[in-house]
Homo-oligomer: A and B are copies of this chain.
Amino acid sequence: MKHLLDVDELNTEDAESILSQAGEYRAAFDAGPPVPAAAPLAGGRIALLFAEPSTRTRLSFEIAGYALGAQTLVVDPGGSSLVKGESMADTVRTLDALGIDTLVLRHHRAGAPWVAARHFGGSVVNAGDGWHAHPTQALLDLLTLRRAFGATTDGTRRLAGAKVAIVGDVRHSRVARSNLTMLGQQGVDVWACGPSDWLRDWPGDVATDDLDAALRGADAVMGLRVQRERMKGSAFDLGGYVARYQITEARMRLAAPGARFMHPGPVNEGIEVTHEVATGPRSLVLEQVRNGVPVRMAVLAAVNASSREGVAG
């Protein structure tokens, strides 16, 4: 029995076995208690304050914190004092007084984590602020690229000189911005590509509205989500975007042999990328998700090790 989907599929033996086990659990349940364990963040308390909705990032941190032995507390921004007009400073000081040692913060305002850090005694981990930054995403993207290109300890050497093309609304993307910095530090040649409107103010060296030029010889192509919610009512021409910028298998053939596709998710299949590319052998999308947990474990462990030594940074 791998799944339990319906009783139709339960044979008598399985059903009997479950019921008999359930009978024993019922007896134990009526009788009382069970369990403990040891971990690097045992006794720690991590608050997850996501002022923007998120599934994968929030779950990823929740899994990471638990795996390290910490208590993770989800602070509902809707039900929180933030709605009663309490300022970020007050919220953060309150979390500090409650004994929270790590605050994982996602916020629609760029810079919010820095404001939080000024008022918080423990550590703040930025889980995405506005269009500005998303450092744990950049770290997990780097880990993903290194693993994909076979790099181990000599990772820097292997990635240096590689070309990564980021395609889409780089202007409003914290993922693009953080990857530009992180990958740039590794000697990666980062190209931005999209309609010229979306390339304004791009801090990188290369930006082009010519997709072919961006893809040519790329070792990896990173798609970005088309924020259709945000486009509503604007002059944005979705059909035109798809025609000119959708990542297709045919277009991927312009890239280096064996070039990989990445995307921070959630993916709009059929918009910024075809189903074939997003889920085919080139795709690293699920590898990115999978690497999110160990990266966040490492980040949480690192910031806590620092706090426990009392070293500011």
Partner-B contacts on A (CB < 8 A): 1-8, 10, 12, 14-15, 17-26, 28-29, 32-39, 42-45, 47, 50, 53-56, 58-60, 62-63, 66-67, 69, 71, 73, 75-76, 78-87, 90-91, 93-99, 113-114, 117, 123-126, 132-133, 135-136, 138-139, 142-143, 146-147, 152-153, 155, 178, 181-182, 185, 225, 228-229, 265-269, 286-287, 289-295, 297-299, 301-303, 306-307, 311-313
Q: How far is the CA of A143 from the CA of B32 in the complex (A)?
A: 20
Q: A4-B124, A26-B147, A53-B83 are in contact. List 18 more A-B contacts (CB 8 A).
A: A4-B302, A5-B133, A5-B135, A7-B133, A10-B135, A18-B139, A18-B298, A21-B297, A21-B302, A22-B143, A35-B42, A35-B69, A55-B76, A55-B80, A63-B71, A81-B265, A97-B289, A98-B289
In whole angstroms, what is the CA distance A47 to B56 when docked?
Answer: 12
8 Å CB contact of A34 from B32, B43, B114, B182:
B43
Q: Which 3 A-B pairs have the closest CB atoms?
A: A33-B43, A25-B294, A97-B289
Q: Which residues of B contact A96 (CB under 8 A)?
A: 286
With A126-B4, A294-B29 as given contacts, are A59 and B23 in contact (CB-CB < 8 Å)? no
Q: A227 CB to closest chain B CB, in angstroms?
A: 9
Contacts of A133 in B (CB 8 A): 5-8
What residues of B have a CB within 8 angstroms of the CB of A313 in the complex?
A: 1-3
Interface-central residue, A35, A125, A307, by most chain B CB under 10 Å: A35
Indicate if the CB atoms of A17 and B302 lie closer than 8 Å: yes
CA distance A2 to B33 in the complex (A): 18
Q: A297 contacts B25, CB within 8 Å?
A: yes
Tell me which residues across on chain B come within 8 A of A268, comparing CB atoms.
Answer: 85
Residue pair B306, A1 in contact (C-beta under 8 Å): yes
